Amino acid sequence: MPGLLIEPGLPLYPRDAFFAKLPPRLPRTLVIQGERDAKTPYDAALRHVAALRERGPVEVFTIADGAHFALWTSSVCVEKGIDAFVDKRPLTPPCRTVKVRMQH
C-alpha cells in the first residue's frame, strides 16, 4: 500500500528526441477542453492550441463547467462536438455538463 501512495499512478517513459516538441505538421485536430479542468487549466490549453495551430488546423470544443477527461463526465455533450468535427460542420457553442442528482 505505501508504494501506491509514493509511486506515480501512470508509467513514466524515458525522454526521447520528441519529448516536449511540436511535430512538423499536424492533421486536422480536435481538442476537447473543459473550462474547469484542474489538471489542464483552460487558458493553458488555449495557449497550447495556439502553438499547435502553427503546425496545422486545430479546433477547440469547449465544455462549460467541464472537468478533466470530459468524455467520461459529459459524454452526450462531447459526442455532439465529435460528430460535428467528423462531419466537418461548425462546432457548436460551449455545451454544458449534465448535473445528476442522486435520489436517497
What CA–CA distance (Å, rounded) separates 12 from 29? Answer: 25
Question: pLDDT at position 7, please?
Answer: 65
Please compute the mean of the pLDDT values over residues 7-17 and round it to a whole number: 76
On whether residue 64 sits in a domain, the answer given is yes
* DSSP codes joined into one string, 55-67: TS-EEEEEEET--
On whether residue 53 sits in a domain, the answer given is yes
On whether residue 1 sits in a domain, the answer given is no
**Boundaries of domain holding 61:** 24-96
Question: pLDDT at position 8, please?
Answer: 61
What CA–CA distance (Å, rounded) separates 104 from 93? Answer: 34
On whether residue 36 sits in a domain, the answer given is yes
Task: Write out pLDDT tens, residues 14-70.
Answer: 888 888 888 899 999 999 998 988 889 999 999 999 999 999 999 999 988 888 877
pTM above 0.75, yes or no: no
Q: What is the number of domains present in the chain? A: 1
